[in-house]
């Protein structure tokens, strides 16, 4: 993690704390506050403590904020509570320091791109290491990565290599640029393949521009300098795409939210070029739903005879676009679809991987497990990768991206 100080400049995110009326709405929606005494709540951690932070904040309980964003979405005064907490956590990591063990742990969890690249080269060996219990126990004791954390297996090779062999429409009605994320690149190739097939059936051609990790794991683990470097790399390669009028489409709601929101509101990267990039980024189902609304695409049809529990992840809710995947899946024949109604699954990116937070994440996610039982679900559908891994661990059910379900239904 970089030793450069975190700057808490008085931009609109910091100044939003002045609008707090102490109404406690943020505390009532927080999924972490009710399950642990280690977190005093978003109001106290965020706007109430913000007035002390231009000095030398040392509070450590802010690290137990999961960053789900429920507080920011609920605030009637527009206070960016979760964003304030994320900044404060990064500052606390640097001002009060971390043990060597936790610094190494956070460094490793931040580098999903590097881990994916290494693991996918030797996936049989890497996956064996992930499955062996003694290795997981050792990682728990030495690094603080919980022995039962829902870590995903590596795929063999990369999605970019597979992409070249995927069929594309000969005369597409439009083109999009796909931001595939580290997960599709190194862990879940099939999500990207399903996205390309679904877009192809909609008459959309897909380009794959150069890109880096969105930087969210760095943000979550307090390395803002590393996150800014990745953001600037992505701006260099994606801004020309945006300026060409080509939509940038993502299947990872956390990655797209980072491009649209976190770069500006958390990292403080301001300027018209960042606004241009944000305005060009779409969730995949947001784009497909827009095509249906505009008459460019018939509502998806097909049959999927399954009882599906759809969980809209917290990152998607922060987009402010509703639940477009739920809307499109509901038209499939034979599907018995229910929404989870659960605010957060608890994993919050790498939060639930950490030994000191694993049990908290499980308690936060318990309502999702109970809802799956209530619906007698065959599978869980979710737009966020880490939430899918958590849902699989909580419920014991298969967990899939909604685009996979749409791909299966369209393919018969």
How would you class 376 by CB atoms within 10 Å of its CB: exposed for 0-12, middle for 13-18, buried for 19 or more?
A: exposed
CB 395 within 8 A of CB 377: yes
Q: What digits encode the pLDDT tens for the residues 136-171?
A: 999 999 999 999 999 999 999 899 999 999 999 999
Q: How far is CA 174 from CA 246, 267, 389, in A?
A: 8, 33, 33
Distance CA 330, CA 315 (A): 21
Token reading at 290: 């827009």
Assigned architecture for domain 12-96: Orthogonal Bundle (1.10)
**Sole residue written with tokens 């507080």:** 71
Q: What is the largest CA-CA distance in the chain?
A: 61
Q: What is the pLDDT confidence band of residue 11, given thresholds at 50, 70 and 90? A: confident
What pLDDT score does 8 carry?
A: 45
pLDDT in tens, 345-396: 999 999 999 999 999 999 999 999 999 999 999 999 999 999 999 999 999 9
3-state secondary structure the chain: CCCCCCCCCCCHHHHHHHHCCCCCHHHHHCCCHHHCCCCCCHHHHCHHHHCCCCCCCCCCHHHHCCCCCHHHHHCCCCCCHHHHHHHHHHHHHHHHCCCHHHHHHHHHHHCHHHHHHHHHHCHHHHHHHHHCHHHHHHHHHHHCECCCCCCCCCCCCCHHHHHCCCCCCCCCCEEEEEECHHHHHHCCHHHHHHHHHHHHHCCEEEECCCCCCCCHHHHHCCCHHHHHHHHHHHHHHHHHHHHCCCCEEECCHHHHHHHHHHHHHCCCCCCHHHHHHHHCEEEHHHHHHHHHHCCCCCCCCCECCCEEEEECCHHHHHHCCCCHHHHHHCCCECCEEEECCCCCCCCCCCHHHECCCHHHHHHHHHHHHHHHHHHCCCEEEECCHHHHHHHHHHHCCCEECHHHHHHHHHHC
Banded model confidence at residue 5, pLDDT cuts 50, 70, 90: very low
pTM: predicted TM-score of the whole model, two decimal places: 0.92
User: Residue 385 has which token pair?
Assistant: 């990768």
Cβ proximity of 3 and 222 under 8 Å: no
The overall average pLDDT reported for the chain is: 91
**Residues 174-196: pLDDT tens digits?**
999 999 999 999 999 999 999 99
For residue 196 the two structure tokens come to 């390309």
Give the bridge partners for 387, in sequence order: none
Residues β-bridged to residue 207: 177
Q: Which residues pair with 176 in a beta bridge?
A: 206
Distance CA 123, CA 121 (A): 6
How many other C-beta atoms can be found within 10 angstroms of the C-beta atom of residue 18?
A: 12
- With a pLDDT cut of 90, the percent of the chain lying above it is 78
Residue 322 Ramachandran class (φ > 0 left, ψ -120 to 50 alpha, else beta): left
- Alpha carbon 76 to its chain centroid, in Å, reads 24
Q: What angle do CA 130, 64, 392 make, to 5 degrees?
A: 40
pLDDT at 3: 44
Average pLDDT rounded to a whole number, residues 265-279:
95
pLDDT at 7: 47
What are the pLDDT digits (tens) for 20-63?
888 999 999 999 999 999 888 888 777 777 666 554 444 678 88
Strand ordering across the sheet containing 281-283: 204-207, 174-179, 248-250, 281-283
* CATH architecture type of domain 299-411: 3-Layer(aba) Sandwich (3.40)
Query: How far apart are the C-alpha atoms of 15 and 12, rounded to whole Å?
Result: 5
């Amino acid at each position: 993690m970089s030793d450069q100080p975190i700057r808490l400049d008085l931009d609109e995110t910091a100044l939003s704390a002045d609008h707090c009326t102490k109404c406690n709405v943020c505390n009532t929606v927080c999924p972490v506050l009710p399950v642990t005494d280690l977190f005093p709540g978003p109001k106290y951690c965020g706007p109430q403590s913000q007035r002390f932070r231009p000095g030398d904040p040392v509070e450590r309980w802010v690290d137990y904020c999961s960053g789900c964003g429920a507080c920011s979405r609920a605030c009637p005064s527009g206070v960016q509570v979760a964003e304030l907490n994320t900044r404060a956590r990064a500052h606390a990591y640097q001002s009060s320091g971390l043990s060597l063990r936790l610094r190494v742990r956070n460094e490793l969890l931040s580098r999903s791109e590097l881990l994916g690249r290494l693991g996918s080269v030797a996936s049989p060996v890497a996956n064996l290491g992930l499955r062996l219990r003694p290795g997981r126990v050792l990682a728990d004791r030495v690094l603080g990565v919980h022995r039962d954390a829902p870590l995903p297996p590596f795929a063999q090779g990369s999605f970019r290599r597979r992409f070249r062999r995927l069929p594309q429409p000969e005369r597409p009605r439009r083109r999009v640029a796909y931001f595939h994320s580290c997960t599709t690149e190194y862990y879940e190739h099939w999500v990207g393949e399903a996205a390309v097939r679904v877009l192809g059936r909609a008459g959309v051609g897909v380009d794959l521009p150069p890109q880096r990790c969105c930087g969210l794991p760095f943000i979550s683990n307090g390395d803002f300098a590393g996150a800014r470097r990745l953001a600037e790399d992505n701006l260099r390669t994606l801004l020309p795409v945006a300026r060409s009028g080509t939509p940038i489409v993502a299947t990872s709601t956390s990655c797209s939210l980072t491009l649209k929101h976190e770069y500006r509101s958390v990292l403080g990267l301001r300027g018209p070029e960042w606004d241009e990039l944000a305005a060009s980024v779409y969730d995949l189902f947001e784009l497909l739903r827009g095509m249906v609304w505009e008459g460019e695409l018939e509502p998806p049809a097909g049959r999927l005879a399954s009882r599906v529990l759809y969980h809209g992840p917290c990152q998607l809710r922060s987009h402010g676009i509703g639940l477009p995947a739920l809307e499109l899946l509901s038209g499939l024949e034979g599907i018995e679809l229910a929404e989870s109604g659960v605010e957060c699954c608890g994993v919050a990116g790498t939060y639930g991987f950490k030994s000191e937070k694993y049990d908290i994440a499980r308690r936060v996610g318990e309502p999702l497990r109970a809802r799956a039982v209530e619906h007698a679900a065959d599978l869980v559908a979710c737009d966020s990768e880490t939430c899918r891994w958590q849902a699989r661990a909580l419920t014991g059910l298969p967990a899939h991206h909604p685009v996979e379900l749409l791909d299966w239904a369209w393919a018969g």
